[in-house]
Structure 1
Amino acid sequence: MPHLALYTFGVLKSPLVDPGPLTGEFYAMGESVYRRMSRHPGHLGHAEAADGARGVLFGADWGVWGEFAVPTWYDKGRTAETTALATTLSLWTDLRPAFDAVYAGRHREALSRRHDWFERTDHPNYVFWWVAEGVIPTWRDGVSRLESLRAHGPVPHAFTFHDAFASDGTPARVGGIGPNND
């Protein structure tokens, strides 16, 4: 049975190592969100750096999730002192559990604060795609799908909750959003 890959990407207003209170709040909320997401029904796993420290993303060992990569439009730093991004790569059983995890609880609270931490852009900030069971998506896969979504809009290859597709490529509806399949 196919699994659902999710890549998220946002450009932060300040570097990850910024000692300011907003960055501290972002980390505190993020740690809580990650703990809860990892226990959410339908969550199969997410990329974690084996040797990463705060702010270290580039050059970290991501294991089976591959070499770290970012979209071409990211134009801020790539060192521990200058990196200003937040990104995730995760694997889910289906759209519904992912939707429930994203739009409930602590993550919903974090979404309501996203403009405190993230720059507003005209780029998509997340993308879904289906992978065969047993396949682990890579950071490069996520970047490729996000850039495809930006260039071509939602298609079965790269889509969003609002314009979702089932694993067979047919339009899907989740959480009350998406095409009307009546």
Structure 2
Amino acid sequence: MTDHADTRYHLAQFNVATLHAPLDDPRTADFVALLDPVNALADAAPGFVWRLVEEGMPDATGIRPAGQDVIINFSVWESTEALWDFAYRSPHLEPLRRRREWFKRHVDAHSVMWWIPAGHVPTVDEAMERLALIREHGPTPRGFTFSSAYAAEEAMQASTS
């Protein structure tokens, strides 16, 4: 994956996960125990810019815009390479491999990425809109995945035309 980061833009990523059991259930205890270490890993990762946290909390697990049994993850990265390296080339990979223990399989798209101007802090409403777009239309410059990624310049031109 070659990304040639354009410093004018950052990559927003949003994903949803439907829990098998509530976060206070013993079946999700391992996942809950991994939240702080994985979030700290993200915060320190090269290319990390921002992640959503609930006010007064260390994470966003209490924010439930997609339903009471659905948790979200929302962050911004300098490039697709930076996000890829964190997701698949760091200790984050081990919890990712275990996701089926804690989360149901999604029939619809459960993640989306899109380019934003550097310095823009995307909103949950914006993320939910982008997720709806990819679910309805598939990958486009306005919402894509690693396997269907668009370059920042291409995506930004498409969104203004």
Q: How does 1:24-173 map to 2 (within 5 A)?
A: 24-52=29-57, 56-58=62-64, 69-70=65-66, 74=67, 77=68, 84-169=69-154
TM-score by length of 1: 0.75
Q: Counterpart of 1:105 in 2: which secondary structure?
A: coil
Q: CA–CA distance in 2 between the matches of 1:110 and 1:143?
A: 24
What is the CA distance between 1:15 and its match in structure 2?
Answer: 1.3
Structure 2 stretches of 5 or more lacking a match? 1-7, 156-161
What is the CA distance between 1:2 and its match in structure 2?
Answer: 0.8
What is the CA distance between 1:85 and its match in structure 2?
Answer: 2.4
Structure 1 stretches of 5 or more lacking a match? 59-68, 78-83, 171-182
Out of 9, 13, 18, the position equivalent to 1:6 is 13
Q: CA–CA distance in 1 between the matches of 2:86 and 2:120?
A: 22
What is the CA distance between 1:23 and its match in structure 2?
Answer: 1.1
CA contact (8 A) 1:32 1:106 kept: no
Q: CA–CA distance in 1 between the matches of 2:126 and 2:102?
A: 25
- Give the aligned residue type for 2:15: T
CA contact (8 A) 2:63 2:72 kept: no
* 1:138–1:13 distance in 2 versus 1, CA, 3 Å: same
Q: CA–CA distance in 1 between the matches of 2:134 and 2:70?
A: 19
Q: CA–CA distance in 2 between the matches of 1:112 and 1:56?
A: 23
| Count, aligned residues | 147
CA contact (8 A) 1:23 1:117 kept: yes
Higher share of residues assigned helix: 2
CA contact (8 A) 1:16 1:85 kept: no
